[in-house]
Structures are given as structure tokens and as C-alpha cells.
């Protein structure tokens, strides 16, 4: 490689490194903002349970925007780091071998938490019972999440009275033997004495205050091919004690029949949400880290390949070029598409004067290409792109006659003429 070519390549690399570094600061800022939006948005989205619009909408906007922003920033940072690192010619750093272990240690518990969270979200304390007594321990003395009650039913308001039909002929009652917390988990929360005559059931098919209004779609579940719909919550804010829940269908005040219920523990559902949130974060970070490591390794290899390619001459002659014998050469840079081509020219010929000595690069072996043999003289191999005369690379070379490895031998003949003088043949005069 000549000095001019080396200097050009060095300048190009320096420019690439400078460009990569110039993108680092905005990328870091974008990464921090993206992580913040993702961490804030994901709990809001999961915690809303697709019901609370005040949490659902901000969460649904924040966490995907944060994920995309963080992912894009990571890509820019990785590209910047890989570009600058590859230019130094250093070996792959050791931490690239350690980080995947860290990612796996995050990914495995993350997946486990997601599985456990999903199982807990579908778990029921009681199946198909019309009466149940459940115990609340309330270890923290702040009140309990209570119990979520589902019944058989199909959402819809066929009679147009503004209420889901499955709510119209069912009565659910709940009482609690212990104390209860008014406005639980608020600054003005206060404990109240036990009152077993107090009905602790609240009609709530989706979120708090939804009642059984047909404008709200109830939460649904399937259990053993049975469609279940949420009817309400019992004992929200109750403290330690026993909760008794019963449900009945009625066609008239004097005709009652048991109504099967499927009951979930509200505390378990909160734990399920927490496990899902942390599982999503751990699994997301672990998976993203593994993807980043794979991208780093592949990109490093590609950058190294580019560096090694740039250190080679674009075109190299293979072996010795003899007059009227095929010219063998290799092309080390070929990223110009299918319309690139190569031609053999007299050194001073114009670009269009290839004399039909050319070939599409896609049709030749670039590592061992040949062009027709030519007589001794100065020639050039030229590479063009875009099926036109946009010159990319050029190599000038000379074809020379092969020099003899030995001198002509002198041949003598001793023969006498009629005069007796020694005769000398033609070769004796060549000295």
C-alpha cells in the first residue's frame, strides 16, 4: 500500500471515529430517558389490568416509547463503540464473555417470575361454590385487597336497560367478622371496629366505580371451557378476620337458587402483578443484553473485516504477467452492487476505450479473476460501478518481455579450404 492510500484510509477511519463519538452524548441522554419511560410505563400498563384508563393510557404510551427510544439509543452507542474499538485493532474485550452470564442470570428468573405471575393471575381460591368463608390475616395491619368474585355469564345488555344482563338476577352478599380500614392506603385512612351486619360486597365489573354499567366491559376469564365474568369485589380494606360470601339467583323474591362463584384472592393478584412487572423488567433487560452482545460480536467481526479489507490494495495482480497470457488478478473491494464491472485498458486509454476487454464482477471470481492476455506494454485494470463509467479503483501495471536466462552459445567449426586457411562460420562472428 502506498503512503497516499494509507493516509487516505487513516483519515477516513479518523472521520468515522469522530462521527461515532459525536453521536454518543445524545444517545446517552436518549437511553436514560428511554429507560425511565419504560420503568415508569410498564408498571402503569400492567397495574391498570386494561381497566383503569388513568393508568392504562399513560402506561400504554410510556413503556413502548421508552423501549423503542432505549433500543435505538443502545444501537447507536453500540455502533459508536464498535466503530472506535475496531479501529484500534484490539482483541475482543473480556467483559463481552462475562456480560452474557449476567444476562442469563437476569433472563432465567425473569422468565420464572413471568410464569409464576401468569399462574397466580389465573388462580382461584374457590371454584363453583355458592357460599364460602375465607380468612384474612392482614399482617401489615393496613387492610387487605379483599376477594375478586366471578360468576358464569356473558357480557351484554340485550334488553337495553344500561346494565349487563348477567347482573340483573343475582344477589351477592358478604360480611366480615373483623375490623376494617376506611379509605385504605390513603393519608386519611382510619381503622373501624368490627361490624358483622355491614355488607362488604361492592358491585364492580371492571374498575372501581364501574358498577355493572353496560358502558364498561367486564373482566373475563375462562375456566374449564366455562366463561366467567367479574361481578364484584368483597372485603376491600378488611383487616384480620373471616369473610363469608354467598351468591344466589332469583326469579322472584320467593324463588332463590345457589349461584356458583369463582373467587380470587386480591392479595395474590397484587403479588401476581408485582411478579409480572419485575419478571418483564428482568427478562427484558436479559434478552436485550443478549441481543446487544450478539450484535456487538457480529459488528466487531464485520468492522475488523472492513479494516483488514481497507488495508489491502483494492486490486492486486496474481503472479507474473507475461505477454499474450491471461492477466490474473483479485479485487479486494466489491461492495458496489450487481452493476459493477471491471475492464482492461491501455494505460492512457479513455474510460470508454476498453476494447471489449471487460466483465461483470458478478460473473467472475473476484479472488481469482482473469482478463484476456495482451502484448507487452503499460496497462491498467479499472473497476466501475452502476453499469456506467463511475470509476472506483484503478491499478496500472506493465507487461514486459521475459528475459533470457543464458547467452547464445558460440559454435565453431574447424574446416580447411583449398587454400589451407581456417574457415569461420556465421556464429563465430557473434561474440
In sequence order, which residues have a C-beta less than 8 Å from that of residue 33 and are 6 or more positions away? 66, 69
CATH number, domain of 359, equals 2.60.40.10
DSSP per-residue string spanning 167-228: GTTEEEEEEESS-EEESTTSTT-EEE---TTS--EEEBSSSTT-BTBTTSPPPEEEETTEEE
CA distances from 1 to 4, 9, 312 (A): 8, 10, 7
* 410 part of a folded domain: no
Are residues 184 and 230 both part of a single domain? yes
pLDDT beneath 50, residues of the chain: 1-18, 20, 404-431
- Grid cell in block for residue 324: 499474450
Are residues 8 and 100 both part of a single domain? yes
* 411 part of a folded domain: no
As for how many domains the chain has, the answer is 3
> Percentages helix, strand, coil for the chain, rounded to the nearest 5?
40, 25, 35
For residues 185 and 141, is the Cβ–Cβ distance under 8 A? Answer: no
* 209 part of a folded domain: yes
| Beta strand residue intervals within 98-169, DSSP E | 126-129, 131-136, 147-152
CA distances from 399 to 49, 313, 396, 402, 424 (A): 80, 19, 10, 9, 40
* 13 part of a folded domain: yes
pLDDT of residue 383: 92
Are residues 20 and 86 both part of a single domain? yes
Contacts 24+ apart (CB under 8 A), 313-320: 313/1, 313/5, 313/395, 314/383, 314/392, 314/393, 314/395, 315/381, 315/383, 315/393, 315/394, 315/395, 316/395, 317/395, 317/397, 318/368
Q: Are strands 261-265 and 147-152 parallel, antiparallel or unpaired?
A: antiparallel
Residue position matching grid coordinates 366471578: 150
* 413 part of a folded domain: no
CA distances from 198 to 25, 178, 201, 235, 410 (A): 61, 11, 9, 10, 135
Residue position matching grid coordinates 324463588: 255
Are residues 169 and 215 both part of a single domain? yes
* 428 part of a folded domain: no
**Domain stops at, among 251, 282, 310:** 310
For residues 80 and 18, is the Cβ–Cβ distance under 8 A? Answer: no
Gap between the Cα atoms of 108 and 287, Å rounded: 10
Are residues 278 and 245 both part of a single domain? no
pLDDT of residue 421: 43
Are residues 329 and 297 both part of a single domain? no
Are residues 253 and 202 both part of a single domain? yes
* 269 part of a folded domain: no
Confidence (pTM): 0.58
Are residues 135 and 251 both part of a single domain? yes
Are residues 21 and 63 both part of a single domain? yes
CA distances from 301 to 71, 77, 91 (A): 21, 17, 10
For residues 243 and 147, is the Cβ–Cβ distance under 8 A? Answer: yes
Are residues 159 and 253 both part of a single domain? yes
Are residues 305 and 322 both part of a single domain? no
pLDDT of residue 8: 44
Range of the domain at 163: 131-259
Q: Which of 101, 209, 206 is nearest to 155 (CA)?
A: 206
pLDDT of residue 243: 95
Q: How far is CA 108 from the centre of its chain?
A: 18
In sequence order, which residues have a C-beta less than 8 Å from that of residue 96 and are 6 or more positions away? 293, 296, 297
DSSP 332: S
Gap between the Cα atoms of 380 and 230, Å rounded: 82
Gap between the Cα atoms of 338 and 270, Å rounded: 59
DSSP 429: G
For residues 429 and 410, is the Cβ–Cβ distance under 8 A? Answer: no
DSSP per-residue string spanning 351-366: TT--TT-EEEGGGS-T
For residues 373 and 305, is the Cβ–Cβ distance under 8 A? Answer: no
Are residues 136 and 245 both part of a single domain? yes
For residues 215 and 270, is the Cβ–Cβ distance under 8 A? Answer: no
Contacts 24+ apart (CB under 8 A), 160-169: 162/213, 162/214, 162/215, 163/212, 163/213, 163/214, 164/205, 164/212, 164/214, 164/218, 164/229, 166/229, 166/231, 167/203, 167/205, 167/212, 167/231, 169/249, 169/250, 169/251
Mean pLDDT, the chain, integer: 80
* 426 part of a folded domain: no
Amino acid at each position: 500500500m502506498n503512503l497516499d492510500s494509507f493516509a487516505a484510509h487513516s483519515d477516513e477511519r479518523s472521520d468515522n471515529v469522530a462521527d461515532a463519538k459525536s453521536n454518543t452524548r445524545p444517545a446517552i441522554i436518549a437511553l436514560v430517558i428511554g429507560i425511565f419511560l419504560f420503568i415508569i410505563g410498564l408498571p402503569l400498563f400492567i397495574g391498570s389490568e386494561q381497566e383503569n384508563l388513568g393508568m392504562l393510557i399513560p402506561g400504554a404510551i410510556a413503556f413502548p416509547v421508552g423501549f423503542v427510544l432505549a433500543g435505538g439509543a443502545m444501537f447507536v452507542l453500540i455502533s459508536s463503540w464498535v466503530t472506535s474499538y475496531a479501529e484500534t485493532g484490539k482483541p475482543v474485550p473480556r467483559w463481552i464473555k462475562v456480560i452474557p452470564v449476567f444476562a442469563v442470570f437476569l433472563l432465567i428468573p425473569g422468565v420464572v417470575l413471568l410464569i409464576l405471575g401468569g399462574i397466580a393471575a389465573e388462580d382461584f381460591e374457590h371454584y363453583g361454590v355458592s357460599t364460602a368463608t375465607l380468612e384474612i390475616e392482614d399482617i401489615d395491619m393496613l387492610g387487605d385487597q379483599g376477594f375478586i368474585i366471578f360468576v358464569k355469564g356473558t357480557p351484554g345488555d340485550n334488553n337495553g336497560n344500561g346494565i349487563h344482563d348477567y347482573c340483573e338476577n343475582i344477589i351477592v352478599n358478604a360480611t366480615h367478622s373483623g375490623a376494617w380500614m376506611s379509605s385504605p392506603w390513603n393519608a386519611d385512612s382510619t381503622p373501624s371496629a368490627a361490624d358483622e351486619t355491614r355488607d362488604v360486597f361492592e358491585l364492580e365489573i371492571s374498575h372501581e366505580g364501574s358498577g355493572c354499567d353496560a358502558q364498561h366491559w367486564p373482566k373475563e376469564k375462562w375456566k374449564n371451557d366455562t366463561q366467567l365474568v367479574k361481578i364484584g369485589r368483597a372485603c376491600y380494606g378488611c383487616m384480620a378476620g373471616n369473610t363469608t360470601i354467598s351468591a344466589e339467583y332469583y326469579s322472584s323474591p320467593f324463588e332463590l337458587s345457589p349461584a356458583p362463584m369463582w373467587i380470587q384472592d386480591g392479595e395474590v393478584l397484587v403479588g401476581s402483578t408485582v411478579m409480572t412487572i419485575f419478571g418483564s423488567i428482568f427478562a427484558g433487560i436479559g434478552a436485550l443484553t443478549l441481543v446487544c452482545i450478539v450484535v456487538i460480536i457480529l459488528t466487531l467481526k464485520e468492522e475488523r473485516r472492513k479494516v483488514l479489507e481497507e488495508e489491502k490494495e483494492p486490486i492486486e495482480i496474481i503472479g507474473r504477467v507475461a505477454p499474450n497470457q491471461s492477466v490474473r488478478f483479485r479485487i479486494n473491494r466489491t461492495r458496489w452492487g450487481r452493476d459493477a464491472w471491471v475492464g482492461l485498458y491501455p494505460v492512457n486509454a479513455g474510460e470508454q476505450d476498453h476494447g471489449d476487454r471487460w466483465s461483470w464482477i458478478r460473473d467472475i471470481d473476484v479472488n481469482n479473476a482473469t482478463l484476456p492476455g495482451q502484448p507487452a506494454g503499460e496497462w491498467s485494470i479499472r473497476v466501475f460501478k452502476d453499469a456506467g463509467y463511475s470509476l472506483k479503483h484503478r491499478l496500472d501495471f506493465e507487461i514486459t518481455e521475459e528475459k533470457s536466462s543464458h547467452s547464445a552459445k558460440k559454435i565453431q567449426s574447424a574446416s580447411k579450404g583449398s587454400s589451407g586457411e581456417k574457415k569461420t562460420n556465421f556464429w563465430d562472428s557473434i561474440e
